[in-house]
Copies of this chain bind each other. A is one copy, B any other.
């Protein structure tokens, strides 16, 4: 509309006061002794001119830009974890902040460049996010800049937000138990490498640990474990076919993720085995897929949005440190049978 933006000086002029007065009034400075009349005039002038402060100019003086940097390896772009961004954007908006999103593809040179770029813009804090939780290398950052790791950990920056995978693992087992399963439970996807590896994913190991804890607490054991390296539908399909051709006593499948479960569905459908009447399936992530499957896949969700939100809350609170674990919601659909059970008494 108007060709030029109104400045504070414009407001002051219109109100017949100094920029100093206008600034104090608009910022609601507490101990000022400006008259009610001055307040009214300045507010009216600001209103009339549609005045909005120039954030860059203000940031120059105050070192606050109401802007945060979100640097990820690949998270923003990938459909898998875009919830992290969504949550971050929401929380930022709620706090009147705005977010600068950068991607590095995991390349250290681009990472350094990205950090420099956001620092050049005086961000109030930086969130580092990774798609697969892992120990993330982070170049030096000037002390005084708040940092939160999202779905990642780092020795130099202790504040990090992670999914509560251990509890999630337990929850998955519990779901099967509640469905009446005690025998014929197989684990699909777990893999010794994964169980140790902290590079690929710091948290999946906890997932497995939670699962094992859940089973042993219930006095149960898997009747089969099908190890898979790449957790994609095709591998899930093959492993499931192999498993069911080898044995006939499988009544429940605990899959390490939804894509694997998707492959399992395909295999079972071809084999004429019905979910959940013949075998129950539970899984992890709550991928887009899970809702599309027939019957709907019951899964322990990766709480991406909540994590993203939490990360900026922590960042803006300023006193973050240590791991904050975000609960993984269980989303029940129709892939687990509910058999009549005789609950053990006493």
Contact = CB atoms under 8 A, between A and B. Distances in A.
Contact of A56 (B1, B60, B116): B60
Contacts of A232: 292
Contacts of A119: 5, 52
Interface string A113-133: 000111111100000000000
Interface in A72-126: 76-80, 82-83, 85-86, 89-90, 93, 98-103, 110, 116-122
B89 A83 contact: no
A144 interface: yes
Nearest to A113: B93
A110 B67 CA distance: 17
A95 to B, nearest CB: 12
Contacts of A120: 52-55
B76 A89 contact: yes
A234 B217 CA distance: 39
A82 B89 contact: no
- Interface on chain A toward B: helix, strand, loop, or mixed SS? helix
A233 interface: yes
A289 interface: yes
A93 B80 CA distance: 22
Contact of A288 (B53, B79, B116, B117): B79
A317 interface: no
A237 interface: yes
Contact of A140 (B1, B5, B294): B1
Contacts of A110: 93
A39 to B, nearest CB: 23
Interface in A142-165: 142-144
A292 B289 CA distance: 10
Contact of A269 (B56, B57, B269): B269
A146 to B, nearest CB: 15
Interface in A282-311: 288-289, 292, 294
A118 B98 contact: yes
A294 B67 CA distance: 45
B59 A56 contact: yes
Nearest to A270: B269
A19 to B, nearest CB: 16
B82 A79 contact: yes
Contacts of A262: 292
A233 B265 CA distance: 15
B54 A122 contact: yes
A266 B232 CA distance: 19
A140 B288 CA distance: 36
A248 interface: no
Given A55-B121, A57-B60, A100-B100, A76 B82 contact: yes
25 contacts: A1-B142, A52-B116, A52-B119, A55-B120, A56-B59, A60-B60, A76-B76, A76-B82, A77-B82, A79-B82, A89-B102, A89-B103, A93-B102, A93-B110, A99-B100, A99-B102, A100-B101, A232-B292, A233-B294, A234-B292, A262-B292, A266-B294, A269-B270, A289-B289, A289-B292
Q: Which 4 residue pairs of A and B lie closest in terms of their CB atoms, listed nearest first? A: A79-B79, A77-B86, A56-B56, A233-B292
